[in-house]
Amino acid sequence: MKRRLFLEKVSLAAGFIAVPNIGWNKAIVTKEQVTNSIFHAGGNIRLDRSWSILNEGKLSPFTVVSGFGDSMNPPLDEYEVGQIDALLFERKVENTVIGYGKEGLPWVNSSSEVKPAFVKEYLITNRLGIKTGVLGIDLFDNVKNLDSAMNQINDLAYQLKEDMDCKQILCLVNDAKTISKDFSFDQIVRKSVGVDIFFGTCSEVPSNRLFALQNRNERQILLSLISEKASVNSNIEMENSLIRSYKVD
In sequence order, the β-bridge partners of residue 37 are: 237
Q: Answer yes or no: is 1 within a domain.
A: no
Q: Work out the number of other CB atoms within 10 angstroms of the CB of residue 189.
A: 24
Position 118 in a domain: yes
CA distance 101 to 246: 34
This prediction has a pTM of 0.83
| Helix, coil or strand: residue 142 | helix
At residue 187, φ and ψ (nearest 5 deg) are: -60, -40
Q: Is residue 224 part of a domain?
A: yes
Q: Is residue 3 part of a domain?
A: no
The per-residue pLDDT string of the chain (249 residues; one tens digit each, 9 = 90 and over) reads 333 333 333 323 222 333 333 333 344 444 568 888 898 986 555 555 444 444 454 557 898 988 776 655 556 766 777 778 999 999 888 888 888 888 999 999 999 988 999 999 999 999 988 899 999 999 888 878 889 999 999 999 999 999 999 999 999 999 877 677 788 899 999 999 999 999 998 888 888 999 999 999 999 999 999 887 777 788 898 776 677 889 887
Alpha-carbon distance of 61 to 165, in angstroms, equals 23
Position 230 in a domain? yes
φ/ψ of residue 132, rounded to 5:
-135, 135
Number of domains in the chain: 1
Containing domain of residue 138, as a range? Answer: 8-248
User: Considering the domain boundaries, does residue 156 fall inside one?
Assistant: yes
Residue 36 lies in a domain: yes
Query: Is residue 2 one of the residues assigned to a domain?
Result: no
Tell me the CATH number at 66: 3.60.21.10
CA angle 98, 103, 109 (to 5 degrees): 105
